[in-house]
Amino acid sequence: MIQEPLYIIKVGGNIIDNDEKLSSFLIAFAALKGRKILVHGGGKLATKLANDLSVPQQMVDGRRITDGETLNIVTMVYAGLINKQLVARLNALDSKSIGLSGADANLISAHKRNHPTIDFGFVGDVDQVDAGFLLSLIEQGLNVIIAPITQDKNGQLLNTNADTIAQEIAKATAKHTPTILIYSFEKKGVMMDVNDDTTLIPAINAELFEKLKVEKAIFEGMIPKLENALQAVNAGVKKVIIGDATALESLVEGKTGTTIY
Amino acid sequence: MIQEPLYIIKVGGNIIDNDEKLSSFLIAFAALKGRKILVHGGGKLATKLANDLSVPQQMVDGRRITDGETLNIVTMVYAGLINKQLVARLNALDSKSIGLSGADANLISAHKRNHPTIDFGFVGDVDQVDAGFLLSLIEQGLNVIIAPITQDKNGQLLNTNADTIAQEIAKATAKHTPTILIYSFEKKGVMMDVNDDTTLIPAINAELFEKLKVEKAIFEGMIPKLENALQAVNAGVKKVIIGDATALESLVEGKTGTTIY
């Protein structure tokens, strides 16, 4: 077994939307040594295209209600435009990359979300990740760039949360090889005061997380991310790092960001 | 070397646009035994999306002048929506498929077309195909489904003719393994009279092609396809078959369609 870690890196929407930050991120991603998988969402482009096409959008708990037209829009934007632009830019940085959705080679099996009160439409929840196929591509020296579209066993495409996909991939690859999951975005990491970089919390374990949650000492929007992170660690992921998308090397070396272990 | 042929199958736009014909084609494709690569274009969907977004479209000699906005549209429609829908439907038919553009893993290198009088915009002409990577995926039991988007070495995505991509892939794989190129569409094959199926020409070689061309005995729109086909045969492709997309097995067995050899 190769002991050098595999990095599963989720890049946040605010980075995708900002061409300068995206360039810095892609340079940092290309420069990061080792085996890498990138999971991206769509930033604001899907919402913009929906507006241009007069397809009304409805968000519930930060999730996009996905009717048939919206599914076509997110498939075009995530698996088409953004995925291929990221691949082309990384290739031009000599960081050879292949872009896939969860449907390709049945990489990520999912089912339509069954919620007791809300009809999310064509939204998928992940059942299984084919880690073996992912690792076979990585062993050929490729970065794998993943768009958050999956499919069910009837051939229905499904819009799927990119944070969850990153977590599920990390849990699956962790069974085969040491895996580090990185949630990279526009902030320095998890902070006591979201507007004050000096309040960065360098490391969080389950015990500290419970304490911070009870004390309401962390930004509420960060709680699901941290719960996801702890769940990944419990499932065998070596560590989860949350931090600045343009400083991947420092994140990996523990010089910045928040490490969940 | 495996002697069972590799099929490179181009499916025409009129099939993509017609859900009933597309279903028949996908069932025939899934049922066809052996190693398979599918190359698709976009049918009328890209033009429809451009109209919905009020992006004017200009065609010259059947080729789409591709400005920046049009490039985004074809990338979304070809590499996103159509590619992933084809993949998901084939997977559901138990014909495990992976969808790629020419940018993925640097599969197809291209350069921006340099035309003496017409500025085609972001239109690519193919330089090279990585047949080794394609064959490595196929050896894993996957069909490869290819959208006609390529990139140049600076990371610029380029809109590229799907017929040409199919031909270039066939020429590249023919150097490694016996390859048969199939142009499948809504007609029975090459016909003397385009409206009369009984005038189907079952086989054409270079000599007959010159004769038919001089006599103006074949439909003019078919001439570039036949020139492409003969060029592929000259470059080592075993044969090229032109015919009905919903009758792949009969085409392969030589029971229908036009064979160029």
Condensed to tens digits (0 to 9), the pLDDT of residues B108-163 reads: 999 999 989 999 999 999 999 999 999 999 999 999 999 999 999 999 999 999 99
> B38 with B84, same domain?
yes
User: With bands split at pLDDT 50, 70 and 90, how would you rate the model's confidence at B2?
Assistant: low
> B135 with B183, same domain?
no
Mean pLDDT confidence for A229-246: 96
Q: Which of the listed residues B162, B189, B211 is the one where a domain comes to its end?
A: B162
Chain A residues with CB under 8 Å of a chain B CB are 52-53, 72, 75-81, 83-85, 87-89, 91-93, 96-101, 103-106, 133, 136, 140, 142, 149, 151, 153-157
B173 in a domain, yes or no?
Answer: no
CA distance B124 to A220: 48
Give the pLDDT confidence of B173-195 residue by residue, as tens digits. 999 999 999 999 999 999 888 88
**Into how many domains does chain A fold?**
1
Give the pLDDT confidence of A165-181 residue by residue, as tens digits. 999 999 999 999 999 99
C-alpha separations of A212 from A191, A222, A226, B66, B204 in Å: 11, 11, 11, 54, 77
> B45 with B116, same domain?
yes
> B50 with B153, same domain?
yes
CATH number at residue A84: 3.40.1160.10
Whole-number average pLDDT of chain B: 94
B96 and A106 within 8 Å at the Cβ level: the answer is: yes
**B195 alpha-carbon distance from chain centroid:** 23
- Chain A CB contacts of B76 under 8 Å are 76-77, 80-81
What pTM does this model have? Answer: 0.96
> B239 with B120, same domain?
no
> B23 with B141, same domain?
yes
CA distance B219 to B63: 19
- Chain B CB contacts of A78 under 8 Å are 80
Of B77, B101, B155, which is closest to A76 when you measure between CB atoms? B77
> B156 with B190, same domain?
no
> B245 with B200, same domain?
yes
- Chain A CB contacts of B155 under 8 Å are 88-89, 91-93
Q: Which of the listed residues B131, B162, B193 is the one where a domain comes to its end?
A: B162
Q: Alpha-carbon torsion B42, B238, B93, A112, what sign? A: negative
Query: ipTM value of the model?
Result: 0.95
Q: Which of the listed residues B103, B133, B162 is the one where a domain comes to its end?
A: B162
Beta-carbon contacts of residue A174 (< 8 Å; ≥ 6 apart): A232, A235, A236, A237, A238
> B96 with B134, same domain?
yes
> B152 with B188, same domain?
no
User: Does A192 have pLDDT greater than 90?
Assistant: no
A1 in a domain, yes or no?
Answer: no
A104 and B81 within 8 Å at the Cβ level: the answer is: no
B172 in a domain, yes or no?
Answer: no
User: With bands split at pLDDT 50, 70 and 90, how would you rate the model's confidence at A216?
Assistant: confident
- The domain of A25 spans 6-260
Lowest mean pLDDT among A2-16, A20-34, A231-245, B104-118: A2-16
B237 in a domain, yes or no?
Answer: yes
> B119 with B36, same domain?
yes
> B145 with B48, same domain?
yes
